[in-house]
Amino acid sequence: MSRPNIVLILSDDQGYGDLGLFGNTLLQTPNLDRLGREGISLTQHYCGSPLCAPSRAALLTGRYNHRMGALSVESNRGLDRIALRERTVADRLRDEGYVTGMVGKWHNGLFDMRHHPNSRGFDEFAGFLNGGMDYYDWILDYNGSPRRSDGRYLTDVFTDEAVGFIRRHAKEPFFLYLAYNAPHVPLQAPEEDVRPYREAGQVNEGVATLYGMISRMDKGVGRVLDTLEKLGIADSTIVLFTSDNGPWLGSAEGHDMARYNGPFRGMKQDVLEGGIRVPAMVRWPEGLPGGVEVSEMVHFTDWLPTFLSAAGCVAKSELPLDGADALPLFRGETGKRPDQRFWQFNRYEPVLNCNGAVREGNWKLYFPWIPEAKRKMSSDSEWYHRLFHEPHFETEIDRSAVQRDLSASSEPELYNLAEDTWEARNLAAEHPERVARMKRAFESWFEEVEAERKRLPVCEI
């Protein structure tokens, strides 16, 4: 078997329920559903963090995001950056002879060209570095040079660029990271894609627009799959589709975005299931069975070692990986898998026992939010909005500490996810020994990853 091509497709803020394959009866996603039916659909697939930049960092490196300083989304403070000593999956595959390309949203380092995708393993880049972008009046970065909108809808632009990359490199092993920014705000979609959901009368205008954004992206994924077929390389190409975190279900542009998100509580920013369990489908006809559902836990950090294994590479690293090769699991082979997984997110400096979680088999220990740790300073959003209208530029980041008074943390809550996916019945009082053991595991993990982060030299981030 020859080395497979790899196409990693990532959506932005698309929840577990924002997909027909995972139970949404209104939203039409025929191409994504087809990918899941032809390949493997994962029903316990977890992102690295409930927020995009840290989650993407885990996906690209196979390591927990805390270790490398990718803590949040405030690019003006460098909190989205992957430390320079880290090697991305693109770095590793390029070393093995793959041509590497990225299309779409980066958001893992702005304002410093050392953190540009072309410096992080990608031979080619067409996209934007910011956390968001207008879908019509866009400014993109093409290998370091700015290009302004030509009037096309941005999702279509990214699909065009992805198809072009595949055509250019069809005769050599390639890795393509296609990171759509749909369905992240702003809520913008072609009228033809919004109309069916508006006319159905089952959702408000905001959700109808978001569903239209997903429908347009689904058409783009269909074009990518069709291109692989036409070029005769579909069977030898791994295609993974997933989302960076759960959906935003609060208010957006004056609309209530509450909608179906599977049987889960929580949303983007929360380490409840609704914020971290995300859709995933993977297809590789030459190397994996098709029409299979995998219900075991798979984590973002697993994908780097899985891709390297599929490519026949040894996942050698001076920095230990947190993920494990999932190919044996996908092939139905028995073997030991990581039983514990960890998540933690809050703004700015990480806070112990705040919006954290540890999974251990079917059990999950959850540490509720400390409200003050959730707040983002309004001044830190100014840069985000500024880069909707200006080409990328370099500047110093703000390294000053954010002063805040935090309330005490709450007692952790224990859930059995095999019986309670909504995380409604707190079993902590019934299992004090399990709570104590899992709490120690979480605190030990937090101490470890925080110690590694704090050893990073300032020049690394």
Distance between CA atoms of 71 and 53, rounded to whole angstroms? 8
In the predicted model, what is the mean pLDDT of the chain? 96
- The two three-digit tokens of residue 273, written as one number: 């299931």
116 as an active site residue: the answer is no
Distance between CA atoms of 154 and 131, rounded to whole angstroms? 14
pTM, full prediction: 0.98
- Amino acid identity, residue 19? L
Nearest by Cα to 124 from 96, 156, 161, 149? 161
Alpha-helix runs per DSSP H in 290-431? 303-310, 327-330, 382-386
CATH 3.40.640.10 corresponds to the domain 341-377+399-460: no
For the chain, give every domain's residue range: 5-339, 341-377+399-460
47 as an active site residue: the answer is no
pLDDT at 252: 98
Q: Is-contact 305 53, C-beta < 8 A?
A: no
Phi-psi map region of 154: left, alpha, beta (phi>0 left; psi -120 to 50 alpha): alpha
HSE (side-chain half, CA atoms, 13 Å) at 4: 24
Q: In CATH, which of 3.40.720.10, 1.10.10.10, 3.40.50.720, 1.10.1740.10 is domain 5-339?
A: 3.40.720.10
**Which residues, given as ranges, of the chain have pLDDT below 50?**
none
pLDDT at 433: 98
Per-residue burial over 137-174, b if 16 or more Cβ lie within 10 Å, else e, is ebbbbeeeeeeebeeebbbbbbbebbbebbeebbeebb
Distance between CA atoms of 46 and 359, rounded to whole angstroms? 11
Phi/psi of residue 20, nearest 5 degrees: -60, -40
- Catalytic choice (45, 66, 107, 115): 107
Phi/psi of residue 11, nearest 5 degrees: -100, 175
- What lies within 8 Å, CB to CB, of 34 at 6+ separation is 222, 225
pLDDT at 1: 63
pLDDT in tens, 287-320: 999 999 999 999 999 999 999 999 998 766 679 9
- Catalytic choice (45, 47, 52, 116): 52
